Amino acid sequence: MQVGGVHNKKTYPEIVWFNDEWVKYDEAKISVFDRGFMLGDGVYEVTPFYEGKAFGLKEHLARLQYSLDEIMLDLDASLLKPLMFEAVSKAGLSEKDAAVYIQVSRGVAPRTHYFPDNVKPTILMYAFPATLRGFENKQWSVLVSEDLRWQRCDIKSTSLLANIKSNTESHLLGLDENLLVRDGLFTEGSHSTIFFVRNNTIYTHPEGPQILSGITRKFVIEICSELNIEVKEEAFPLSELERVDEAFLTGTTTQVMAIKEMFSEGNKIYDKPEFGPLTRKIQQAFIQKTRSL
């Protein structure tokens, strides 16, 4: 592992939906008293579009609604559905692979440590190109470290500082992701869901406050059922890592990513350079599901 800088390869979208209108990204302005800017008081969602066709749209909007409800932000997420397709079209991505980012903050109000009444939410949305092909040919090298995040990881909050810090730690070491461990048990990655394979059984952390309810996670569990692969929604212990046959990650743009190696405190603690057979089966089934929309 070599320590290095983290280069930002992302670019700005040309146009965004911001507070009821389409504007150029550099014309979208928020108040300094927007609670999303000042307090991280907001939630977000990312939905993949395969060649212009949304995948898991109902599930992604339902997760956004869940996050909104959990922070008591009054907004009907389903009203954003037509705008998502419009965002893809305006970005010139209707026949390409893309993703749509939606962010909702509570809105503008004098700074308080409670949720104020009668505030209009600030809504931001845009589409961006996404690399949704070729994941089955890649393997990730990952860091393993302590999970120091808050206890409501089921809310897809814009308050991502702990996740970003964890992911940055991995990237500074030339790695791809940081797998988080709480009380000796794997929870999830800084921006992905973890799956472990042992004796032809797949293990992943159960849904609850300690992890985000992954949409790709849900579809992978369905795929496993279709393939007659047993899945146990149990938190996997770090102490059992040496008995793992395969490991992979899932996420909206990560999709189904094989893990090649894991590092902790400068030591390699997992080394599987070959693609595992169950990971391969799941990847191929996922490709078929997403490319037959």
Residue-range domain boundaries for the chain: 15-129, 135-290
Active-site residue flag, 165: no
Q: Please list, residue by residue across 275-288, b when 16 or more beta carbons sit within 10 angstroms of its beta carbon and e when fewer do.
A: bbebbeebbebbbe
User: Using one digit for the tens of pLDDT, what is the confidence trace for 84-128?
Assistant: 999 999 999 999 999 999 999 999 999 999 999 999 999 999 999
d(CA 225, CA 246): 18
Q: Give yes or no for a contact between 191 and 211, defined as CB atoms under 8 angstroms apart.
A: no
Just give the CATH number of 15-129: 3.30.470.10
- Residue 111 is encoded by which pair of tokens? 């700074």
User: Using one digit for the tens of pLDDT, what is the confidence trace for 155-193?
Assistant: 999 999 999 999 999 999 999 999 999 999 999 999 999
- 15-129 and 135-290 have identical folds: no
Contacts of 128 (CB under 8 A, 6+ apart): 13, 91, 93, 98, 99, 101
Topology, domain 135-290: D-amino Acid Aminotransferase; Chain A, domain 2 (3.20.10)
d(CA 282, CA 224): 7
293: pLDDT confidence band, cut at 50, 70 and 90? confident
Catalytic residue among 156, 272, 281, 289: 156
The model's pTM is 0.95
d(CA 10, CA 47): 17
Strand partners, 127: 100
Q: How many CA atoms lie within 13 A of 283 on its CB side?
A: 22
